[in-house]
Amino acid sequence: MEYNLEGRTLRFSEEIINLCKKVPQTIITNPIISQLIICKKECRETKYWLTLLEKIDENLLPQCRNLWQEAQELTLIFSQIAISTK
């Protein structure tokens, strides 16, 4: 077993892509869209909790804002993928 996490995740992703290429598009589209919708909801919920955390403790403000921005960007990415997948 390889302990290089970056290499392992890269190979895993490549294997998933190769598998998806073998499956008819109609079979994978709906589950992928469902998962993207879940990802978007999770990002929105994360942004909600980050907003609360920054109000609780002002010392957390910079880190919460950075994480909020990342969650926002991921939300936009997942939205775009879902739109283009349909």
> Would you say residue 2 has pLDDT above 60?
no
CA distance 32 to 43: 16
Other Cβ atoms less than 10 A from the Cβ of 50: the count is: 20
Record the pTM.
0.61
**What pLDDT, on the 0 to 100 scale, is given for residue 83?**
81
Q: Average model confidence (pLDDT) for the chain? A: 82
**Domain limits, the chain:** 28-85
% of the chain exceeding 70 in pLDDT? 86
**Average pLDDT value for residue range 46-61:** 92
**What pLDDT, on the 0 to 100 scale, is given for residue 23?**
67
Confidence of residue 38 (pLDDT cuts 50, 70, 90): confident
SS3 4: coil
